Amino acid sequence: MPLRPEEQACLDVLAAQTRAADPSFALGLSNAVACPPLEYRRRAAARLGFAVASAAVVLAIFLLLVGWLGGGLVALFAAGGAGFAAGRCAQRHGAAPAGQRGPHDIPA
């Protein structure tokens, strides 16, 4: 069943927006290569960041309990930085500008 001209126009606009927002995903769709959308790739990076932050908090508590104040404080600052970076990564919506793409934005 062919589409009406206005439906085809809407579909073309949607395809152009998808190509502009996430070219890797659009290329994967056209080549039948599985590539998750940008939002899912960022979610994986955010989970890794939260895991690193949690590990740094555990290390900081251990070092503070052992009595090494300097190492504990450094680990706490590292945990804060990793948590902040992971939170920003999880909150970003839409496509990243070309200069800000990372290795997690490249299709496999």
* Residue 101 banded pLDDT, cuts 50, 70, 90: low
* Residue 89 banded pLDDT, cuts 50, 70, 90: low
The answer for residues whose C-beta is within 8 angstroms of residue 27's C-beta and 6 or more apart is 33, 35, 107
pLDDT tens digits along 34-88: 677 766 767 777 788 888 888 888 888 888 888 888 888 888 888 888 878 777 7
Q: Which pTM value belongs to this model?
A: 0.48
**Rounded (10°) angle between helices 69-91 and 38-66:** 170
The answer for residues whose C-beta is within 8 angstroms of residue 83's C-beta and 6 or more apart is 49, 50, 53
Residue 92 has a pLDDT of: 56
Whether the Cβ atoms of residue 25 and residue 38 lie closer than 8 Å to each other: yes
Dihedrals phi, psi of 7, to nearest 5 degrees: -70, -40
